[in-house]
Chains A and B, each alone.
Chain A
Amino acid sequence: MSSNYEDRDSGFGLEREYERAMPGRGQRRMQRRKICRFCMDKVDLIDFKDVRLLQSYVPERGKILPRRISGMCASHQRMLAEAIKRARNIALLPYAAD
Protein backbone atom coordinates (compact mmCIF):
# COMPACT_ATOMS: atom_id res chain seq x y z
CA MET A 1 0.00 0.00 0.00
CA SER A 2 1.69 3.15 -1.09
CA SER A 3 0.60 6.55 -0.08
CA ASN A 4 2.06 9.99 -0.54
CA TYR A 5 2.04 10.65 3.17
CA GLU A 6 3.80 7.57 4.33
CA ASP A 7 5.05 8.61 7.69
CA ARG A 8 2.00 10.66 8.48
CA ASP A 9 -0.54 8.56 10.22
CA SER A 10 -3.57 10.25 8.87
CA GLY A 11 -5.72 7.23 9.29
CA PHE A 12 -7.11 7.44 5.78
CA GLY A 13 -5.08 6.60 2.72
CA LEU A 14 -5.97 3.63 0.60
CA GLU A 15 -7.67 1.45 3.14
CA ARG A 16 -11.04 2.37 1.71
CA GLU A 17 -10.24 0.72 -1.57
CA TYR A 18 -8.67 -2.26 0.13
CA GLU A 19 -11.58 -2.61 2.47
CA ARG A 20 -13.93 -3.01 -0.42
CA ALA A 21 -12.00 -5.90 -1.92
CA MET A 22 -10.71 -7.55 1.24
CA PRO A 23 -12.51 -6.33 4.33
CA GLY A 24 -10.39 -6.13 7.42
CA ARG A 25 -7.12 -6.38 5.50
CA GLY A 26 -5.97 -2.82 6.01
CA GLN A 27 -3.90 -2.20 9.09
CA ARG A 28 -4.77 1.38 9.78
CA ARG A 29 -8.24 2.09 10.90
CA MET A 30 -9.93 5.42 10.66
CA GLN A 31 -8.65 7.34 13.61
CA ARG A 32 -10.54 10.56 13.90
CA ARG A 33 -9.14 11.20 17.30
CA LYS A 34 -8.52 14.87 16.71
CA ILE A 35 -11.19 17.28 17.68
CA CYS A 36 -11.75 20.40 15.66
CA ARG A 37 -9.86 23.18 17.31
CA PHE A 38 -12.41 25.74 16.31
CA CYS A 39 -15.24 23.71 17.66
CA MET A 40 -13.44 23.54 20.96
CA ASP A 41 -12.92 27.25 21.11
CA LYS A 42 -16.41 27.83 19.78
CA VAL A 43 -15.27 30.14 17.06
CA ASP A 44 -18.08 31.38 14.88
CA LEU A 45 -16.29 33.60 12.45
CA ILE A 46 -12.94 33.06 10.85
CA ASP A 47 -11.57 36.38 9.74
CA PHE A 48 -9.61 36.43 6.52
CA LYS A 49 -7.48 39.23 7.88
CA ASP A 50 -6.12 37.12 10.69
CA VAL A 51 -3.07 36.00 8.79
CA ARG A 52 -1.30 34.41 11.70
CA LEU A 53 -4.16 32.09 12.42
CA LEU A 54 -4.60 31.21 8.78
CA GLN A 55 -0.94 30.58 8.28
CA SER A 56 -0.95 27.70 10.71
CA TYR A 57 -3.17 25.88 8.25
CA VAL A 58 -1.14 26.69 5.21
CA PRO A 59 2.26 24.98 5.10
CA GLU A 60 5.22 26.07 3.06
CA ARG A 61 3.98 25.32 -0.40
CA GLY A 62 0.95 27.43 0.22
CA LYS A 63 -1.63 24.70 -0.10
CA ILE A 64 -4.57 24.46 2.25
CA LEU A 65 -4.32 21.60 4.69
CA PRO A 66 -6.83 18.85 4.09
CA ARG A 67 -9.30 17.97 6.75
CA ARG A 68 -7.77 14.65 7.60
CA ILE A 69 -4.54 16.34 8.54
CA SER A 70 -5.89 19.35 10.31
CA GLY A 71 -8.67 17.48 12.07
CA MET A 72 -11.27 20.10 11.39
CA CYS A 73 -14.94 19.57 11.31
CA ALA A 74 -16.60 20.11 7.97
CA SER A 75 -18.21 23.45 8.56
CA HIS A 76 -15.09 25.00 10.02
CA GLN A 77 -12.99 23.61 7.24
CA ARG A 78 -15.24 25.32 4.77
CA MET A 79 -15.04 28.60 6.66
CA LEU A 80 -11.32 28.30 6.88
CA ALA A 81 -10.92 27.51 3.21
CA GLU A 82 -13.03 30.48 2.26
CA ALA A 83 -11.05 32.76 4.51
CA ILE A 84 -7.79 31.51 3.08
CA LYS A 85 -8.97 32.05 -0.45
CA ARG A 86 -10.02 35.58 0.37
CA ALA A 87 -6.69 36.28 1.98
CA ARG A 88 -4.95 34.98 -1.10
CA ASN A 89 -7.02 37.31 -3.17
CA ILE A 90 -5.65 40.32 -1.38
CA ALA A 91 -2.10 39.07 -1.25
CA LEU A 92 -2.14 38.36 2.45
CA LEU A 93 -1.35 34.76 1.69
CA PRO A 94 0.40 33.38 -1.35
CA TYR A 95 -1.25 31.22 -3.92
CA ALA A 96 1.81 29.07 -4.38
CA ALA A 97 5.09 29.49 -2.63
CA ASP A 98 8.18 27.60 -3.61
Chain B
Amino acid sequence: MADKRIYEVVFIVNPDADDNEVMRLSEAVQKIATSQGGSITKTEVMGRRQLAYEINQKRDGTYVLLEVEGSGAEIAELERRMRVNDQILRYMTIRVDEDRRRADKLKSRRARKAAKQPSATKARGNSSESEADLEEGYAA
Protein backbone atom coordinates (compact mmCIF):
# COMPACT_ATOMS: atom_id res chain seq x y z
CA MET B 1 0.00 0.00 0.00
CA ALA B 2 1.55 3.25 -1.08
CA ASP B 3 1.87 6.05 1.39
CA LYS B 4 -1.02 7.87 -0.16
CA ARG B 5 -2.56 10.07 2.41
CA ILE B 6 -5.38 12.24 1.26
CA TYR B 7 -6.04 15.51 2.98
CA GLU B 8 -8.77 18.05 2.58
CA VAL B 9 -7.60 21.57 3.08
CA VAL B 10 -10.15 24.30 3.48
CA PHE B 11 -9.15 27.88 3.93
CA ILE B 12 -10.95 31.16 4.13
CA VAL B 13 -9.66 34.11 2.19
CA ASN B 14 -10.14 37.72 3.11
CA PRO B 15 -13.42 38.91 1.56
CA ASP B 16 -11.84 42.09 0.32
CA ALA B 17 -9.72 40.15 -2.11
CA ASP B 18 -11.26 39.98 -5.55
CA ASP B 19 -11.61 36.81 -7.59
CA ASN B 20 -8.29 37.11 -9.36
CA GLU B 21 -6.45 37.42 -6.12
CA VAL B 22 -8.29 34.43 -4.77
CA MET B 23 -7.30 32.41 -7.80
CA ARG B 24 -3.72 33.50 -7.52
CA LEU B 25 -3.66 32.69 -3.84
CA SER B 26 -5.16 29.31 -4.40
CA GLU B 27 -2.68 28.56 -7.12
CA ALA B 28 0.19 29.66 -4.94
CA VAL B 29 -1.00 27.34 -2.23
CA GLN B 30 -1.29 24.50 -4.70
CA LYS B 31 2.19 25.17 -5.92
CA ILE B 32 3.52 24.92 -2.41
CA ALA B 33 1.91 21.55 -2.07
CA THR B 34 3.16 20.19 -5.37
CA SER B 35 6.64 21.56 -4.92
CA GLN B 36 7.01 19.49 -1.81
CA GLY B 37 6.02 16.38 -3.63
CA GLY B 38 2.31 16.20 -3.14
CA SER B 39 -0.33 16.27 -5.80
CA ILE B 40 -3.57 18.16 -5.97
CA THR B 41 -6.56 15.99 -6.63
CA LYS B 42 -9.31 18.52 -6.45
CA THR B 43 -9.76 22.24 -6.26
CA GLU B 44 -12.93 24.04 -5.58
CA VAL B 45 -13.61 27.62 -4.85
CA MET B 46 -16.66 27.35 -2.69
CA GLY B 47 -17.33 31.01 -3.15
CA ARG B 48 -18.16 33.78 -0.83
CA ARG B 49 -20.17 32.80 2.18
CA GLN B 50 -21.29 34.49 5.27
CA LEU B 51 -19.34 33.37 8.26
CA ALA B 52 -21.16 31.98 11.23
CA TYR B 53 -19.16 34.30 13.46
CA GLU B 54 -16.71 37.03 12.75
CA ILE B 55 -13.10 36.27 12.22
CA ASN B 56 -10.74 39.19 12.46
CA GLN B 57 -13.74 41.50 12.39
CA LYS B 58 -14.86 40.15 9.02
CA ARG B 59 -18.35 38.91 8.49
CA ASP B 60 -17.90 36.90 5.31
CA GLY B 61 -15.14 35.31 3.34
CA THR B 62 -14.29 33.24 0.32
CA TYR B 63 -13.88 29.54 0.93
CA VAL B 64 -11.45 27.46 -1.04
CA LEU B 65 -11.21 23.72 -0.86
CA LEU B 66 -8.24 21.68 -1.96
CA GLU B 67 -7.67 18.02 -1.90
CA VAL B 68 -4.04 17.16 -1.51
CA GLU B 69 -2.46 13.79 -1.85
CA GLY B 70 0.87 13.16 -0.27
CA SER B 71 2.64 12.60 2.97
CA GLY B 72 2.52 14.73 6.06
CA ALA B 73 5.56 16.83 5.30
CA GLU B 74 3.82 18.75 2.56
CA ILE B 75 0.92 19.50 4.78
CA ALA B 76 3.17 20.79 7.51
CA GLU B 77 4.83 23.14 5.08
CA LEU B 78 1.51 24.16 3.64
CA GLU B 79 0.10 25.01 7.00
CA ARG B 80 3.16 27.01 7.90
CA ARG B 81 2.79 29.10 4.79
CA MET B 82 -0.90 29.55 5.34
CA ARG B 83 -0.35 30.71 8.84
CA VAL B 84 2.05 33.35 7.66
CA ASN B 85 -0.14 34.65 4.92
CA ASP B 86 -2.32 37.53 6.00
CA GLN B 87 -4.95 36.99 3.37
CA ILE B 88 -5.84 33.60 4.70
CA LEU B 89 -8.04 34.11 7.70
CA ARG B 90 -8.40 30.51 8.74
CA TYR B 91 -7.48 27.11 7.46
CA MET B 92 -8.25 23.57 8.36
CA THR B 93 -6.63 20.36 7.19
CA ILE B 94 -8.29 17.06 7.60
CA ARG B 95 -6.98 13.65 6.79
CA VAL B 96 -9.66 11.79 4.90
CA ASP B 97 -8.12 8.72 3.38
CA GLU B 98 -8.87 6.42 6.28
CA ASP B 99 -12.46 7.54 6.57
CA ARG B 100 -12.99 7.10 2.89
CA ARG B 101 -11.39 3.71 2.88
CA ARG B 102 -13.63 2.66 5.71
CA ALA B 103 -16.69 4.04 3.96
CA ASP B 104 -15.80 2.23 0.79
CA LYS B 105 -15.26 -0.98 2.67
CA LEU B 106 -18.65 -0.70 4.32
CA LYS B 107 -20.27 0.06 1.04
CA SER B 108 -18.65 -2.82 -0.76
CA ARG B 109 -19.47 -5.15 2.07
CA ARG B 110 -23.06 -4.10 1.89
CA ALA B 111 -23.16 -4.48 -1.85
CA ARG B 112 -21.72 -7.94 -1.57
CA LYS B 113 -24.27 -8.88 1.04
CA ALA B 114 -27.10 -7.54 -1.09
CA ALA B 115 -25.87 -9.42 -4.10
CA LYS B 116 -25.70 -12.66 -2.17
CA GLN B 117 -29.32 -12.57 -1.09
CA PRO B 118 -31.68 -11.51 -3.86
CA SER B 119 -33.94 -9.69 -1.43
CA ALA B 120 -34.44 -6.37 -3.18
CA THR B 121 -38.11 -6.34 -2.24
CA LYS B 122 -37.62 -6.28 1.50
CA ALA B 123 -34.89 -3.65 1.42
CA ARG B 124 -36.97 -0.63 2.45
CA GLY B 125 -39.90 -2.40 4.02
CA ASN B 126 -39.56 -1.15 7.59
CA SER B 127 -38.63 2.43 6.99
CA SER B 128 -42.12 3.86 6.71
CA GLU B 129 -42.75 4.17 10.43
CA SER B 130 -39.75 6.25 11.28
CA GLU B 131 -40.26 9.15 8.90
CA ALA B 132 -43.08 10.69 10.86
CA ASP B 133 -41.30 10.46 14.18
CA LEU B 134 -38.18 12.20 13.02
CA GLU B 135 -39.83 15.59 12.63
CA GLU B 136 -40.07 16.48 16.27
CA GLY B 137 -39.43 20.14 16.72
CA TYR B 138 -36.71 20.96 19.17
CA ALA B 139 -36.46 24.57 20.23
CA ALA B 140 -33.54 25.15 22.50
Contacts and interface: CB of A to CB of B under 8 A. Distances in A.
A76 interface: no
A44 B136 contact: no
B115 interface: no
Contacts of B4: none
Contacts of A89: 92
Contacts of B102: 44
A51 B27 CA distance: 26
B139 interface: yes
Contacts, number: 67
B130 interface: yes
Given A45-B99, A91-B12, A63 B136 contact: no
A69 B138 contact: yes
A57 B139 CA distance: 11
Interface residues of A, number: 28
Interface residues on B, range: 20 to 34
B83 interface: no
A98 B14 CA distance: 26
B52 A42 contact: no
Interface of A: 8, 33-35, 37, 40, 42, 44-45, 48-49, 59-61, 63, 65, 69, 71, 86, 88-95, 97
18 contacts: A8-B136, A8-B138, A33-B130, A37-B134, A40-B130, A42-B110, A44-B107, A45-B99, A48-B94, A49-B10, A49-B46, A49-B65, A71-B133, A88-B52, A89-B92, A90-B10, A90-B63, A91-B51
